[in-house]
């Protein structure tokens, strides 16, 4: 239930739009149901989307496969997810998408069952992943390769979908030896006796994980809408990371994800950690993205392409101009 303060803010935004003779633009946003969805709830419920003239249909995906399909067929206008999915859409599915903004480093850790003491204990067992050939599955393959384990030969990949499903798979069947988890699922795993073998950023270096990507033609035809979306997201992210809003931000996580108070508060602290959680103002990390491309080439084969093939940050730059006016 929205507070009176939030309802007043939304009403004020609606009045402002009516005064300018503008109707809110409907935008379909597709993302994952994890703690890093915080800024989307904040943007919606605290009026950041409305102030920028947007009516956002917030969609939560069950898997990156479903998400990529939604973007390709027009069911989603903007996707916020691991940008390696955009690379896969361009290079493998030959869909003309483009990355237009950053977001975070993933908050990823490699969580394993209580009987797994090191990576070699996963030999002959399964690793739970979302899609087998993108993003965090590639991180898992690289980490295990560093410990002498090859996919399909020494372990199998169990593709189940998003973080909710990966966590459930670990709880339901101990044959699933481990998974890369992000917040709040990593904290929930720890509460149930699973343990971390380390953060992926510590093991693999900087990584551009979450970001915004869209169909390139849609971006050209809706440049103003895209810039307004990015501006609203940046403003909501600033609000979410502001220490003065810590209690209110924790309440958003508790309300929308039904999290215990302590898990919500710990998630906020970790999401604000530089190099592990959100990037300030959702700035795109070019070094981290170069590592994404290098990792993909090493694990999947090929040579890393020029990053410019995948990104167009001009929309983000103009959005920042709007934010900083």
Are 243 and 309 part of one and the same domain?
Answer: yes
- Burial environment of residue 238 by CB neighbours within 10 A (0 to 12, 13 to 18, 19 or more): middle
Say if residues 230 and 315 touch (Cβ distance below 8 Å): yes
Domain final residue pick, 204, 226, 260: 204
More confident residue, 231 or 22: 231
Are 123 and 197 part of one and the same domain?
Answer: yes
Give the per-residue pLDDT at 76: 98
> What is the three-class DSSP state of 241?
helix
Q: Does the pLDDT value for residue 324 go beyond 70?
A: yes
Are 182 and 70 part of one and the same domain?
Answer: no
Structural domain boundaries, residue 150: 109-204
Are 167 and 287 part of one and the same domain?
Answer: no
Are 195 and 113 part of one and the same domain?
Answer: yes
Are 198 and 216 part of one and the same domain?
Answer: no
Q: Which residues pair with 111 in a beta bridge?
A: 179, 196
Are 197 and 216 part of one and the same domain?
Answer: no
DSSP 147: T
The whole-angstrom separation of Cα 101 and Cα 319 is 10
Are 221 and 150 part of one and the same domain?
Answer: no
Are 177 and 316 part of one and the same domain?
Answer: no
Give the per-residue pLDDT at 298: 94
pLDDT in tens, 43-87: 999 999 999 999 999 999 999 999 999 999 999 999 999 999 999
Of the chain, the end-to-end C-alpha distance in Å amounts to 32
CATH number at residue 174: 3.40.190.10
Say if residues 236 and 48 touch (Cβ distance below 8 Å): yes
- Dihedrals φ, ψ of 290, to 5°? -60, -35
Helices 314-323 and 223-241, interaxial angle, to 10°? Answer: 60
pLDDT in tens, 175-194: 999 999 999 999 999 999 99
DSSP 162: S
DSSP code per residue over 100-115: EE--B----EEEE-TT
Are 234 and 318 part of one and the same domain?
Answer: yes
Mean pLDDT of 87-106: 97
Count other Cβ atoms within 10 Å, centred on residue 2: 12
pLDDT in tens, 103-150: 999 999 999 999 999 999 999 999 999 999 889 999 999 999 999 999
> What is the three-class DSSP state of 325?
coil
Give the per-residue pLDDT at 12: 47
Structure-token pair, residue 278: 């959100």
Domain final residue pick, 145, 179, 204: 204
Domain final residue pick, 204, 226, 257: 204
Are 198 and 214 part of one and the same domain?
Answer: no
Are 283 and 297 part of one and the same domain?
Answer: yes
Number of domains in the chain: 2
Structure-token pair, residue 32: 């994952």
Pairing of strands 195-199, 109-112: antiparallel
């Amino acid at each position: 239930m929205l507070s009176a303060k939030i309802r007043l803010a939304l009403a004020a935004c609606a009045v402002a739009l009516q005064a300018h003779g503008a109707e809110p633009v409907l935008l379909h946003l597709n993302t994952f149901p994890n703690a890093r969805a915080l800024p989307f709830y904040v943007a919606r419920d605290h009026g950041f989307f409305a102030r920028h003239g947007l009516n956002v249909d917030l969609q939560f995906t069950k898997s990156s496969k479903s998400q990529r399909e939604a973007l390709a067929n027009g069911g989603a206008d903007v996707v916020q997810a691991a940008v390696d999915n955009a690379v896969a859409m361009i290079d493998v599915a030959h869909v003309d998408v483009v990355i237009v903004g950053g977001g975070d480093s993933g908050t990823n850790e490699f969580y394993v069952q209580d009987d797994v003491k090191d990576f070699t204990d996963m030999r002959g067992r399964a690793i739970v992943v979302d899609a087998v050939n993108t993003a965090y599955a590639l991180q898992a393959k690289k980490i295990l390769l560093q410990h002498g384990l090859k996919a399909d030969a020494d372990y199998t990949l169990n593709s189940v979908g998003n973080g909710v499903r990966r966590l459930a798979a670990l709880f339901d069947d101990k044959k699933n030896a481990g998974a890369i988890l992000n917040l709040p699922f990593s904290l929930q795993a720890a509460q149930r006796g699973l343990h971390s073998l380390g953060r992926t950023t510590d093991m693999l270096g900087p990584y551009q994980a979450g970001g915004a990507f869209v169909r390139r033609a849609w971006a050209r035809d809706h440049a103003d809408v895209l810039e307004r979306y990015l501006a609203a997201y940046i403003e909501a992210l600033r609000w979410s990371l502001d220490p003065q809003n810590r209690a209110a931000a924790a309440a958003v996580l508790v309300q929308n994800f039904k999290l215990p108070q302590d898990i919500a508060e710990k998630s906020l602290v970790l999401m604000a950690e530089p190099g592990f959680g959100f990037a300030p103002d959702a700035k795109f990390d070019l070094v981290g993205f170069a590592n994404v491309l290098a990792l993909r080439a090493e694990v999947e084969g090929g040579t890393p392409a020029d990053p410019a093939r995948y990104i167009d940050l001009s929309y983000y730059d103009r959005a920042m101009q709007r934010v900083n006016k």
